[in-house]
């Protein structure tokens, strides 16, 4: 278990990239099939989708740290924050009229 939490950043990003791809393939397959089999775990899959995406974004800066400007660190952090808050808003199913307002409010922060 310790090895999982102390793995190198490249391994972590590779693992989350594979998770992101698998979840996207599952979402596409469920959409095309018209099945409602995954409706019960839809929120869990949405959370894993958002978490794997922010892990890829944050790890991207650290993998290219010597080749990109320093302000990219703050930019990737802000982008990851907006994505995870958007994912949380989608999971909690806020009223449709207010969802764009929250997203753009977080984006402007």
Q: What is the pLDDT of residues 64-76, one digit of tens each?
A: 888 989 888 889 9
- Contact between 16 and 56 (Cβ < 8 Å): yes
The two tokens of residue 68 are 């990109």
pLDDT score for 102: 64
Residues with Cβ within 8 Å of 51's Cβ and at least 6 positions away in sequence, in order, are: 16, 84, 87
- At 3-34, the pLDDT tens digits run 767 788 888 889 999 999 999 998 888 888 87
When pLDDT is cut at 50, 70 and 90, the band that residue 94 belongs to is low
pLDDT at position 103, please? 65
Give the pLDDT confidence score for residue 12 in this predicted structure: 86
Q: Which residue has the higher pLDDT, 56 or 107?
A: 56
The predicted model scores a pTM of: 0.75
Give the residue extent of every domain in the chain.
9-108
């Amino acid at each position: 278990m310790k090895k999982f939490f102390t793995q190198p950043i490249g391994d972590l990003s590779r693992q989350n990239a594979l998770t992101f791809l698998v979840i996207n393939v599952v979402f596409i397959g469920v959409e095309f099939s018209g099945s409602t089999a995954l409706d019960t775990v839809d929120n869990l899959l949405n959370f894993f989708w958002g978490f794997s995406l922010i892990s890829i974004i944050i790890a991207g800066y650290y993998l290219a740290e010597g080749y990109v400007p320093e302000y990219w660190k703050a930019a990737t952090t802000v982008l990851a924050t907006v994505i995870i808050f958007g994912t949380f808003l989608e999971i909690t199913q806020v009223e449709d009229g207010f969802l764009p307002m929250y997203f753009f409010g977080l984006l402007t922060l």
